[in-house]
Structure 1
């Protein structure tokens, strides 16, 4: 029951790339996608240089709120058009984590307009709630970098205060606690799930219907480790399907935004020893419901290799409609190409003409 979107290919998924030409601190450089665990070993280490803009205040205080919160502002001499913002992590209290960026928004806009500079904020990746708060306040993720803090290496996400130049097709964060129908729960993929993901590649049926080459254990582990940060960066969502009774990882689902706004393609797969239980249909239904109701997407597309009747039955059972046949669309393991059978489903909150239903 394998749809064609399995482990993603390098060509399909954007990687964290150089955002600015030269600056060491403000540059987000990576030859590979970042993640919470291994990004520290695979991203370029950002070296901190001196800051030179003396007209910029060293500190700003959150105004008109009931708590004390300070931020540090600085300008990298290699990127004078960018103001770098960081919260003073020792100052903020947990109960204000959801509002701190909203409280600072007016100050950011004022500073941006007065100085004619971009505002970048750096947030350690472990502060997921704070990242979500910054995104809600109008920041868009750009990439990630690592730096030295004493004897420790810390990985940070960089977000820019969004404007016309930095339009971001925001991909909602899949909930950390997951979604469930009582039988299955779909949660964000983490490195601990890599054993099940790797075992799938040992199955002849899964390999036959996949369009991607078999990956090494290390590659699969990196893929699982990178899943959450890729979601934050807007690259795509990879989530694991958990059987509630056993707490085993029984499958996976994927979502990737495509070029038109609010359109995405979806993939799914149930691991060999758990097939025949109707889990593929249940997982795709559950994931589809979240994509429409919570993520706000209008259309989901699904491509299946010609001849994969089991996957077609799953798509039809979940209300996906067969739309077209695309010859030579999907690559096979032997280097040949198969025909893609294209399915799609439109959100129940929109009519066929694309108008929102009240």
Structure 2
């Protein structure tokens, strides 16, 4: 259903779908690149980690399902719904995942999400990836506002958000279901023009 707007969209339709999903460089020799079929084993293994499982209730059950997810990621890009990237080193080793979801071109808003593999935690991988993705989305693509939320119990994610220039705006009470029940969620946002901290 098409919305009748009295204002023009912040980002014109077709802006992203007109080109291939980009590979984005990040500080410290990181790259954000689209997921490849060969990444299915490491992606599936990531969801066996207790830290990732604690905060992510949607999990793939097999490599075939991961490949189906990757197909969906490509459709998301073509339909301008979302972008999904593997966070890698220059040598191609996957360190984590980052995504820009819920793209609203009319209002210029999208939501960020990420995880990092256990071996790469504590090295600033998530904050460097989030900073790079945010700069591309806000400064190059034309989004005005990026949001992210996380459980109030996920202190590491809160630090990543703050380090990447996402301001804590408040708490959404009982807003998400995790494996151990309902959690309050912190809402962070970064707006075009906000000072970049990472």
**TM-score where L is the length of structure 2:** 0.83
User: Is 1:292 paired with 2:107?
Assistant: no
Structure in which a larger fraction of residues adopt helix: 2
Shift of 1:258: 4.9
Whole-angstrom distance in 2 between the partners of 1:302 and 1:261: 16
Within-5 A mapping of 1:2-41: none
Determine helix, strand or coil for the equivalent of 1:294: helix
Residue 347 of structure 1 corresponds to 192
Within-5 A mapping of 1:1-358: 169-170=13-14, 172-173=16-17, 175-181=20-26, 183-210=29-56, 212-217=57-62, 218-244=64-90, 246-259=91-104, 261-334=107-180, 336-348=181-193
Contact 2:26–2:32 under 8 Å retained in 1:
no
Contact 1:185–1:241 under 8 Å retained in 2:
yes
Q: Which runs of 5+ in 2 are unaligned?
A: none
Q: Which runs of 5+ in 1 are unaligned?
A: 1-18, 20-161, 350-358
Contact 1:299–1:345 under 8 Å retained in 2:
yes
Shift of 1:177: 4.9
Equivalent residue pairs, number = 184
Whole-angstrom distance in 1 between the partners of 2:71 and 2:79: 14
Determine helix, strand or coil for the equivalent of 2:87: strand
**TM-score where L is the length of structure 1:** 0.47
Determine helix, strand or coil for the equivalent of 2:141: coil
| 1:221-267 per-position Cα deviation (integer Å, ceiling 9, x unaligned) | 211232122101122111111111x3201111111135552101111
Contact 1:268–1:280 under 8 Å retained in 2:
yes
Q: Whose radius of gyration is greater, 1 or 2?
A: 1
Moved over 4 A (4+): 167-171, 173-177
Distance 1:231 1:251, change over 3 A: same
Larger RCO (CA under 8 A, 6+ residues apart): 2
